[in-house]
Amino acid sequence: MTFSKTFSNKSFGKEILTMALAVTLIFGACSNKDSESKKDSGDPGAMSDMMATGELDPIAPDASLGWTKASEAGMSWEIPSSWVVGPKMPMRAGTYFASATDGDAEPAECRVNFFGAGQGGAVDENIMRWAGQMELEGQEGKSPTPIVKRTEISGIPVAIIELNGVYLSKTRPMAKEFTRKPGFTMLAAIVTAPEGTIFYKMTGPCKTIDANRENFRRMIGSISSGS
């Protein structure tokens, strides 16, 4: 850069200050863009309480409802009375079905899994695994961003998750084949209990899940230690 002989020290100072501010703004914008990119990348570290709206908050149990109890790994929870209890299955602490509503083609299913002490993997790994079981509507191969609510119930760490889009339904966990089911919602919870992690995963058509959202939240809210 060439300056004229008449360029004053005062003007030079203003020029340097202006250039410094411009550089700061440019680098600041890059930094913000990088932060937003990380937020949208699906990085588990960026998921804590992301987009939590309160519709995932657990609801305290209500004894007047007369719900029955189930238990596993030193923990118990209450089963909504309107849900049908399915048959016992390996590695499942329970299977429940909520009837289809508002013209939905099928009911919602809630699976409760317990794989043993120290088994099942880390919380964020499971959240991303579940995200991989869903696709954004009209965007094949692209998973939705999980909505995650982290809290404690009876002193036990709990992560409550919601995913919406196309559910990639498999007849068995390790199967390669799957059926795409559009317009689905997944509500899930990971309970890090002292005797091992318990996984709750409810999937079904959006309207049916919405009709049972309060039941799911109350079921998670009823979790306590002991049988």
- Which tens digit of pLDDT belongs to each residue from 89-118? 888 999 999 999 988 999 999 999 999 888
Instruction: Give the pLDDT score at 91.
Output: 85
pTM of the entire predicted model: 0.76
Longest dimension (CA), the chain: 92
Nearest partner of 161 among 129, 117, 193, 194, judged by Cα: 129
Do β-strands 75-79 and 84-85 pair in parallel, antiparallel, or remain unpaired? Answer: unpaired
Nearest partner of 170 among 197, 203, 200, 143, judged by Cα: 203
The Cα–Cα gap between 120 and 111 comes to: 14
Q: Three-class SS of residue 72?
A: strand
Asked if 79 contacts 219 with a C-beta cutoff of 8 angstroms, the reply is yes
Counted residue by residue, the chain has a size of 227
Q: Phi-psi bin for 118: left (phi > 0), alpha (psi -120 to 50), beta?
A: left
Instruction: Give the pLDDT score at 175.
Output: 62
Nearest partner of 127 among 150, 110, 154, 108, judged by Cα: 150
Nearest partner of 182 among 148, 121, 139, 126, judged by Cα: 139
Q: Three-class SS of residue 100?
A: coil
CA-based torsion, 120, 121, 123, 128: positive or negative: negative
pLDDT tens track, the chain, 227 positions: 443 333 344 443 444 334 343 333 333 333 333 333 333 434 444 454 444 556 899 999 999 999 999 999 999 999 999 999 999 888 899 999 999 998 899 999 999 999 988 898 899 999 999 999 999 999 988 999 999 999 999 899 999 999 999 999 876 666 677 799 999 999 999 999 999 999 999 999 999 999 999 999 999 999 999 76
Asked if 69 contacts 219 with a C-beta cutoff of 8 angstroms, the reply is no
Q: Phi-psi bin for 133: left (phi > 0), alpha (psi -120 to 50), beta?
A: alpha
